[in-house]
Amino acid sequence: MCGIIGYVGSENAVPIILEGLRKLEYRGYDSAGIAVRGVSGFEVVKQKGRLAALEKRLEGQRIQGQMGIGHTRWATHGEPSDVNSHPHLGSGSKIAIVHNGIIENYRQLKERLERKGVVFVSQTDSEVIAQLTEYYYNGNLLDTVIRVSSVLEGSYALAIMCLEEPEVLIATKKDNPLIIGAAADAHFIASDVPALLSHTNKVYYLDDKEIAVIKKDSVQFYNQDKEPVTKSLETITWSVDSAEKGGYPHFMLKEIMEQPTVLRDTVRSALTRGTNNAVINSLDINSFNKIVLTGCGSAYNAGMVAKYVFERLCRISVEVELASEFRYKDPIIDSKSLVILVSQSGETADTIAAMREAKAKDAVTLGIVNVMGSTIAKEADYTIYTYAGPEIAVATTKAFSAQLVLLYILAVRFAVKSGKLSEDEGQNLLREIEALPAKAAEILADIDPIQKYASQCVGCKSIFFIGRNIDYAIALEGSLKLKEISYIHSEAYAGGELKHGTISLIEENTLVVAISCSERLYSKIYSNVEQVISRGAKVFLVSNTCKACPDDKLTLLDLPQVNELLSPSLSVIVLQLFSYYVAANKGLDIDKPRNLAKSVTVE
């Protein structure tokens, strides 16, 4: 939710900030803005719309400065408009800030400042930070930021410049991500790693309430009591190319295509010596009587798939909870509960809140996270990493697939430890998991039929996804993917549930995508297929168990043979490609669907 970037060095900040914003645009794209410290003051350009609109506006403007900040916005308070875009300035234009987060007490602070004569120009909560910093400024920006942050309630990641301290950039954060990049002759602030990768792979992860005082050739960290804090410089292993499209028309397609590699890397990390493997081995299933899986959106859907796997293999009760609900339901958990937090970004506000709720109730927390140094990675009792690399498209694909394989491996290890599977049975399953990347590659080697079928579906008004048991769980993900990027209404249903209401929505040529990868349930789902076809539906059957013949109402897509419990890793690839090509044929902005942002760091 909003991307921020800052630069201080010896080059012109403008192109560096714009390049960083391009890499952060996935975090929000309602409007964008930039402020640089020019010779005679701050030069600020803000523009409603995509970053391209800001770039256009900057064309021909000779803005120069060796320090600057930039922002790409996902609006929370105040409509997307030029004036509500960041950076925000104090009334005297002495302070410039960019903010990611929500200031919950901004009304009170704003009213207090207005009573003192401060005039606000925007409807945002963020402007209060600029006005307050300017109001309190006492000749020392660090002291002022400490004072300001002590009165802010809510969440923030901030980059702040002060006209009177031309070489200092300040960064601070609470409950929103912020990293500091260090290069030979420059320092950077960014919401996420891809924004920095072309300049440096050395970063400091800022912790909540820490303040970084950043200059061209130094960075110092302080806590709220102004005591120096020592932090270590971490090395990012992601390559520069991993954050580029690499010839693909969209990041989403590139990321779908990367799945065999991502699956291989993630499986390897969990099965060979290393931290993932060590963490998985150190968890003792026998000390838990309950597993709760929680996350949002696709991460929740990964939990839905995993529930079937854990319950079948480990015979332990598993609950799957939407993180946004979990925190408010007074969950029944204690020190014998394992709460698994699934999150690509590790920064989703609802999932972080669920983690904190679980910890407050003494549950053991395990994060399954893609982004190193993220809040969940740091705060969960245990963390295992998906090796997906940077995921830029708003619609998750490769990170979801990596989450699934880690969850399978966890389930197998738990089942062996608890004696529900023998060592041999466990090994056999692990071998099947190791074979998944090759099977995924097999699907990706022949995507034409999916592309062709999807191209005929652009006119659909509503598409249903059905499956049974674990196929139903993955149908949820197929439906979410389609809605998210194609804007076609869609619902996922457990096949047997159709007749209890939803079947009334089936009309002539309604499209139903059916998933069938369970031999034992094939006849059940197939009778649901027949029920909808006899009411006029067309069916796209994604299956490795199909015994039917295609006709004008039934199209088949064959999947490689695979253990039923692992089959979502294959069917999801077809569902991702189907959604992708429907959206591509509609000419939509696939990587940045309307109204969405990749990391939802606000509630």
Q: How far is the CB of 399 from ligand M6R (least distance, A)?
A: 7
Q: How far is the CB of 367 from ligand M6R (least distance, A)?
A: 10
Contact 469, 524 (CB under 8 A): no
Identified binder of ligand M6R from the candidate list 351, 545, 571, 601, rule CB under 6 A: 351
Which residue, 210, 208, 240, is CA-closest to 225? 210
Scanning the structure block, which residue is given the tokens 């499986």? 267
Active-site residue, selected from the candidate residues 46, 173, 439, 598: 598
Would you say 296 or 583 has its CB closer to ligand M6R?
296
Distances from the Cα of 513 to the Cα of 466, 525, 556, angstroms: 6, 11, 10
Identified binder of ligand M6R from the candidate list 149, 479, 599, 601, rule CB under 6 A: 599
Would you say 163 or 475 has its CB closer to ligand M6R?
475
Q: How far is the CB of 488 from ligand M6R (least distance, A)?
A: 15
Would you say 172 or 374 has its CB closer to ligand M6R?
374
Active-site residue, selected from the candidate residues 2, 162, 457, 517: 2
Neighbours of 129 (CB within 10 A): 27
Identified binder of ligand M6R from the candidate list 72, 133, 294, 348, rule CB under 6 A: 348
Query: How far is it, in rounded angstroms, from Cα 154 to Cα 491?
Result: 35
Q: Which of residues 463-492 bind ligand M6R (CB under 6 A)?
A: 480, 484
**Torsions phi, psi of 244, nearest 5?**
-115, 160
Distances from the Cα of 330 to the Cα of 26, 301, 333, 352, 361, angstroms: 34, 22, 9, 16, 9
Contact 587, 458 (CB under 8 A): no
Identified binder of ligand M6R from the candidate list 396, 490, 543, 555, rule CB under 6 A: 396
**Torsions phi, psi of 4, nearest 5?**
-125, 150
Residue with the shortest CB distance to ligand M6R: 297
Active site residue 2: yes
Would you say 447 or 600 has its CB closer to ligand M6R?
600
Alpha helices in 99-166 (DSSP H): 106-115, 127-136, 141-151
Could you say whether residue 395 binds ligand M6R (CB under 6 A)? yes
Binding footprint of ligand M6R, residue count (CB under 6 A): 17
Active site residue 245: no
Query: How far is it, in rounded angstroms, from Cα 454 to Cα 445?
Result: 17
Query: How far is it, in rounded angstroms, from Cα 253 to Cα 20?
Result: 22
Q: How far is the CB of 601 from ligand M6R (least distance, A)?
A: 9
Interface with ligand M6R by CB under 6 A: which range of 253-261, 337-345, 492-500, 548-556?
A: 337-345
Identified binder of ligand M6R from the candidate list 65, 194, 297, 478, rule CB under 6 A: 297
Interface with ligand M6R by CB under 6 A: which range of 52-60, 133-141, 394-402, 460-468?
A: 394-402
Start-to-end Cα distance in the chain:
10
Query: How far is it, in rounded angstroms, from Cα 116 to Cα 404?
Result: 55
Identified binder of ligand M6R from the candidate list 564, 600, 601, 602, rule CB under 6 A: 600
Q: Which two tokens stand for residue 508?
A: 């002539």
Q: How far is the CB of 572 from ligand M6R (least distance, A)?
A: 11
Amino acid identity for residue 197 in this structure: L
Which residue, 558, 569, 576, 572, is CA-closest to 454? 576
**Torsions phi, psi of 402, nearest 5?**
-70, -35
Q: How far is the CB of 91 from ligand M6R (least distance, A)?
A: 37
Could you say whether residue 191 binds ligand M6R (CB under 6 A)? no
Give the catalytic positions in this structure.
Answer: 2, 598
Binding site for ligand M6R (CB under 6 A): 295-299, 343-345, 348, 351, 394-396, 480, 484, 599-600
